[in-house]
Structure formats: structure tokens, C-alpha cells
Chains A and B, each alone.
Chain A
Amino acid sequence: MSSTKIFLKSSDDKTFEIDETAARASETLKNIIDGGCLDGVIPLPNVSSNILPKVIEYCKKHGGDNGSSKKIANGGVDKDKEILPDYDEEEDKREKVRVDELKKWEEEYMDFDQQVLYDLMLAANYLHIKGLLDLTVEKAASMIRGRTPDQIRENFNINSDFTPEEEEEMILIEDEWDDEWAFD
């Protein structure tokens, strides 16, 4: 693999270096590289210097390895492999270890507060890094799952922006659903 360096400039004008192979984890960067429009530094006006190193860290881990998150989602087993005639058990074991290690890495990588979560999700969305977007979306989902509207507002620091009338109506709808639920 070539180890061409690419430079990324954050919204606050700081420049970061990344290997081309790692940068290819981002669809957006990959298109720029393949499009031949590479002109020294790629400006990323939507990503700040707080977040960009975090994004680069992810890309380094996943660069040139687009299938990794899919394998994790399948419980680390690549089903296609089983039907190949030259199926290698040892190879499969090594793959499993690699996937487990990656899972552990992702767990540590994702240990940050809510503020980083949104910015990282925005960056992943903007740069089209599917695996990273998936991780951040799942983390956000786990923060909402099973909570009441009041708990969610509190957790996410949201002020209800409904008018008092709408609020009233919401409570009515909520009660109606609770009634239906009670029969279940």
C-alpha cells in the first residue's frame, strides 16, 4: 500500500496529517482523492480541531478495511467464508481475535461525553464514515432507549418547544396510548 500523506485542515485552520489508506475510510475523502482534485490540503470547514484527531484515530484503525464493522455486526463470523473450499480454520481464529480486539478498541474509543458524541456524529455524517456513524448513532440510541419524554429532556438538556396547548394535547395522546397499553 502506498503511504502517501494527506493533509486535512479543520474549521479552525489547524492542519492534521493522515495516511491515504486511512483517509479512504471516509467516502468523502476517498472521492476527493480518486477525483484527482487533491491540492495539498483538504479543508474540512465542518470539523473542528477538537474532533478531527478523534476522526483520524478512527480512520487509522479502519483505513483500507471497509468490511470490519459489518463483521462485528454479524458476531464476528463472515458467512461467505464458510462455503469457500479453501476455508482455513486458523485464519478464521485469527480473524476472530482481530474482531474481538477491534470491539474492545471501539468500546474504549467511544468512551466520551455527550458533547463529543454529537460533533463526532456530525463529522462522521459529513465525511461519510459509515462505521463511525453507526457507532455514534447506536450510542445515542442507547441513551434514549426505554426512557420517558421527561427523562429524555433532562438527559439531553432539551426544553420542550411545544406550546402549552400542544403540550396539553401531548398529555392526552400519551394517556390514550397508556390506556391502550393497559389492555395488553
Chain B
Amino acid sequence: MEQEGNTDLSVLPESCIVDIFSRICTSPRDACRLSAVSLIFQSAADSDSIWERFFPSDVQLILSSSVSQSLPDFSSKKEQFLYLCDNPLLVENGTMTFALEKCSGKKCYMIGARELFLFWGYDPKSWKWPSLPESRFSEVAELLGMGWLEIRGKMETRLLSPNTTYVIYLVYKLTVLANGLQYKSRVTVNLVSCGRSKQQGREKSVFLHRPVESKLGRELPDERDANSVPVFTENKNSVPVEVPQERGDGWMEIVTDVDGGGSRATLKMTEFVINDQANTKEEVYCESVRQPTYRASSCLQAECFEIET
């Protein structure tokens, strides 16, 4: 190891290497890249003093409010970080789950269906509440049928990090016989302070059920909007319509928030969180998925809204 004239980084004490690395690693991605260089790099890049910087500052508070089964004993901060990325914890009395976003360490929350406002959610003819093994919540909402589907979710901005852009998803599954959801749905995200709308998101259109080009040779209509663009037809004037994507875990998701522009638009939390620190009543409302479902024999299992960076 000791060469004539030290040209090998390995001559440095680990404390120096960790010091160097802590100036370079601004994200878990950086740390993983460095750990791929050599064993000495790996041991410094995997050290707790590097990884503890990637957690949100209030992570201990969040973990202590967790109602999930007790956490395993972690041998390192890195192990704990990766665990929290892959294993969402039930928090806030089990109404939400908390996880970390792997690349940035930012907070991801998922709001369980029981915490959502579902139009006629209390009506057993419209919705039922089964347990699904693949859901992280004890119950999910299953739509049996109704003429008007409306789902709303909200969360307090105090739970989110300042200066951070969040994306909101609706996470759901379609049952085999799902029907009647091929129409365009309207989605808005609003920031509400003390019951008054502070920022009204632009309305956006989504499909909950990816429309297939009809075999009957006709397009599926949006019965509420005579001027709507027929599904999957390229129209130069059309506003992009979100279609659902498969998640890795067997659920589907749709990006539901709006900010104008891009297909993966985001709602910026920054100014609200910063300027209104005294106001803990502030909430983000996702007033989502308002859609006419005539002939409503559709089955929709709305799991939750997931909010992540």
C-alpha cells in the first residue's frame, strides 16, 4: 500500500475520505456511483456519515409516529434508507404510508382509500371495501357502480418538504369486468388555505381505463363534451390526455396533478410552505377524477393517492 510518493487514495485515513465524499455526495445516486470505484471507496461511500444526510430532517419524528410493525435493526444508515424506499410504513394512524424516494431521499406519501372522499362512498350499492393482499392498506375501495365517479384526496402541506416539487398520482387497479371508465375524466389540484382556494390548478384530462381503438370501428365518446377529441386520434389542437401506466407492483397509476405544459406536470409547493409556516391548516386538495359513468357497471379499486417528488 505504501508506495514511493503517495499516488493512491487508499493511504488516506478513512475520516479524510469520508470528509471528501461528504462534499461530493449530494444524492444516494452519487454515493452508489462512488462505491463502485474500489473497496476503499465503497467503505467510505457506504458510511453512516454519508447516508444520514440523505434522510429528510424530520424522519425520526415520522418514524416514531409509524404504526407499522416494529422496524428491523439496521446495521447501517444505508440499509435503513434502502429499506424505507422499498417498504412503505403506515403513519398518521394508519391513514397514510410513508416512504423515501430512492434517487433523492424525498418524502413519498400514499393516502389510503378510507381517507379519500368518494362520492357515495358510504353507499354499499356503490362501493365495497375489501382487503387485498397486495395493498399496503387494510382496506381498498372497490367501485361497484354509479352514474358519477368522484374521488377527492387532501393532505396537509406541513407533511411535505419545502422547496420541493411533488407529483401526485392516483393509484388503482381495474377489475376484469371494469366497464364504463373509458371516458375522459377531469382532474384538478388545488392548494387550499383555511378553506379558501389559494392556487387553483389548471384542469386536466385523464383516462382511467386506457381506451382501445374500438373494434366496432367507432370511437368512444366523451358524452359530456361534444367537442372532445376522440380517443387516441392525433389532433394537433388537442391537449395531451394522460393515460394510466403500470406500476411495478401490479397497480396502475396516473399522474393527476396539473401545472400546465408537459405530460408529467408538477405542482410546486415551495412558496406556500415557506411563506405560510405559521399556517398549519394548509392543505393540498386533489380533486380528481370527475367523470360521468353511464351504464355504470365498472369496477374500480381506488387504492390511494401517492404523493412523491
Known: A159-B38, A180-B103, A181-B29. A118 touches B6 (CB 8 A): yes
Known A122-B11, A137-B23, A180-B102; judge A173-B6 contact (CB<8 A): no
In the complex, the answer to whether B38 meets A160 with C-beta atoms within 8 Å is: yes
* Identity of the chain B residue whose Cβ is nearest the Cβ of A136 in the assembled complex: B16
Contact A122 to B39, CB < 8 A, known contacts A115-B6, A177-B29: no
B6 pairs with A152, CB closer than 8 A: no
> Does residue A85 face the partner (Cβ distance < 8 Å to B)?
no
Contacts of A159 in B (CB 8 A): 38
Chain A residue total in the interface (Cβ 8 A): 32
Scan residues 21-80 of chain B and give those whose CB is less than 8 A from a CB of chain A: 21, 23-24, 29, 32-34, 36-39, 41
Contacts of A119 in B (CB 8 A): 5-6
- Range of interface residues on B (Cβ < 8 Å): 20 to 34
Whether the pair A158, B8 counts as a contact (CB closer than 8 A) is yes
Q: Which residues of A contact B102 (CB under 8 A)?
A: 177, 180
- Give the contacting residue for A118; candidates B7, B23, B24, B37; CB below 8 A: B7
Contact among B7, B20, B36 for A157, CB-based, below 8 A? B7
With the chains together, A119 CA to B36 CA distance in Å?
A: 25
The yes or no answer to B13 lying at the interface (CB within 8 A) is yes
User: 22 A-B contacts, Cβ less than 8 Å apart?
Assistant: A118-B12, A122-B11, A122-B16, A125-B13, A141-B24, A144-B20, A145-B23, A149-B36, A149-B37, A153-B37, A156-B7, A156-B9, A157-B7, A157-B8, A158-B9, A158-B10, A158-B37, A158-B41, A177-B32, A180-B29, A181-B29, A181-B103
User: Which residues of A come within 8 Å of B, CB atoms?
Assistant: 114-115, 118-119, 121-122, 125, 133, 137-138, 140-141, 144-145, 148-149, 152-153, 156-162, 170, 173-174, 177, 180-181, 184
